[in-house]
């Protein structure tokens, strides 16, 4: 089976100019990057706690979760089949359960939470906070690598009158044996991410994630790439989202990926048990216009054939316009129902 070739970077191992160039090179070639999590940026204990809270939330009574069903603000709970990330290919919705958590204000979530998890909401907010800080650091480093300094990091700061579209997403994939599926079915359909960058946290031994290579073949993405087996926590997987692809005229690659049922191809990983992951989707302030970033490297970039990301084509729009376009594809019925009521 093809290898993903995703590089591993310790973002605290050298000066920011060096790390910034490494990140940009990796983002241009792969769109995905392993960031070694040695506890300096996101404490290992907080990652472990976040997974424990995720399991607690998904084990809450069904009526509690249904009462928090996802809305057009992209916050709340979604059950099996509620999302279709690849509507062009999937005959049924994704085989996963999700809970999207948005911004907290004055220590309070701006959305309903299941009563089971409300006593732990401060811990969820704290985890959102360390993820936000990590994204700001990465965006600053990428900006340095492109010669534009804090351009991206400053765009993440919420402007007056804007809302925050940055989402902490908890995911649970039931074991494959819990429901019948056809050979072509997947746990999460092929897609690119919508925002600036994504942080993805995974658990040892849990298979399923694949990335699409430039020749359109698929390659598994190990939780523990060679050399990280003894790290205190699996590397955080970073991937470039569509908005950074817009900003950089396709230089930074928003790579298509999916989650499949099988676990073949990675020693020590299996897909027979429930699969848990946590994603943090970082997005700029809603009114940010997605014009070409003023970088010499971006200006000199020549695409290598047709872009694998159809959303990287240059068209200036606001960040919130782009997000709504993608969400309507994923939750078509939800948006249609809202429009029918209007």
Which residue, 2, 18, 8, 1, is CA-closest to 227?
8
| pLDDT tens-digit profile, the chain (342 residues) | 467 899 999 999 999 999 999 999 999 999 999 999 888 899 999 999 999 999 999 999 999 999 999 988 889 999 998 888 887 877 778 899 999 999 999 999 999 999 999 999 999 999 999 999 999 999 999 999 999 998 888 887 777 777 778 999 999 999 888 877 777 788 999 999 988 999 999 999 999 999 999 999 999 999 999 999 999 999 999 999 988 888 888 899 999 999 998 766 788 898 888 999 999 999 888 777 777 888 999 999 887 755 444 444 556 678 788 777 777 776 655 555 544 444
Q: For the CA atoms of 150, 156, 158, 162, what is the dihedral angle to 10 degrees?
A: 130
Q: How far apart are CA 141 and CA 147, in angstroms?
A: 10
State the pTM of this model: 0.90
Q: How far apart are CA 40 and CA 126, in angstroms?
A: 16
Q: How far apart are CA 51 and CA 168, in angstroms?
A: 12
Q: How far apart are CA 325 and CA 196, in angstroms?
A: 15
Q: How far apart are CA 224 and CA 228, in angstroms?
A: 6
Residues near 101 by Cβ (< 8 Å), separated by ≥ 6?
75, 109, 111, 113, 124, 128, 167, 168, 169, 170
- The residue written with tokens 């429009």 in the block is 339
């Amino acid at each position: 089976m093809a290898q993903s070739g995703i590089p591993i970077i310790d973002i605290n191992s050298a000066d920011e100019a060096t790390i910034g160039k490494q990140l940009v090179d990796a983002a241009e070639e792969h769109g995905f990057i392993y960031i070694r999590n040695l506890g300096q940026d996101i404490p290992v204990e907080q990652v472990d706690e976040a997974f424990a809270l995720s399991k607690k939330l998904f084990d809450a009574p069904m009526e509690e979760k249904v009462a928090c069903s996802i809305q057009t603000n992209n916050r709340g709970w979604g059950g099996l089949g509620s999302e279709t990330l690849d509507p062009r290919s999937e005959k049924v919705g994704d085989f996963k359960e999700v809970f999207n958590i948005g911004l907290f204000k004055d220590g309070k979530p701006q959305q309903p939470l299941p009563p089971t998890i409300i006593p732990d909401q401060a811990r969820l907010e704290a985890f959102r906070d360390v993820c936000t800080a990590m994204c700001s650091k990465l965006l600053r480093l990428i900006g340095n690598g492109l010669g534009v300094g804090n351009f991206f990091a400053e765009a993440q700061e919420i402007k007056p009158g804007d809302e925050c579209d940055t989402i902490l997403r908890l995911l649970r994939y039931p074991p494959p044996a819990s429901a019948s599926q056809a050979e072509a079915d997947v746990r999460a359909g092929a897609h690119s991410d919508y925002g600036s960058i994504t942080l993805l946290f995974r658990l040892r031994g849990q298979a399923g994630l694949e990335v699409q290579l430039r020749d359109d073949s698929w390659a598994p993405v190990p939780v523990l790439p060679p050399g990280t087996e003894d790290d205190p926590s699996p590397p955080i997987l970073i991937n470039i989202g569509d908005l950074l692809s817009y900003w950089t005229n396709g230089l930074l690659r928003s790579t298509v990926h999916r989650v499949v049922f099988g676990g073949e191809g990675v020693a020590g990983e299996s897909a027979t048990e429930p699969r848990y992951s946590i994603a943090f989707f970082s997005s700029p302030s809603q009114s940010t216009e997605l014009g070409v970033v003023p970088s010499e490297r971006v200006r000199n970039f020549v695409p290598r054939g047709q872009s694998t990301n159809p959303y990287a084509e240059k068209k200036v729009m606001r960040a919130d316009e782009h997000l709504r376009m993608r969400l309507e594809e994923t939750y078509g019925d939800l948006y249609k129902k809202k429009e029918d009521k209007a």
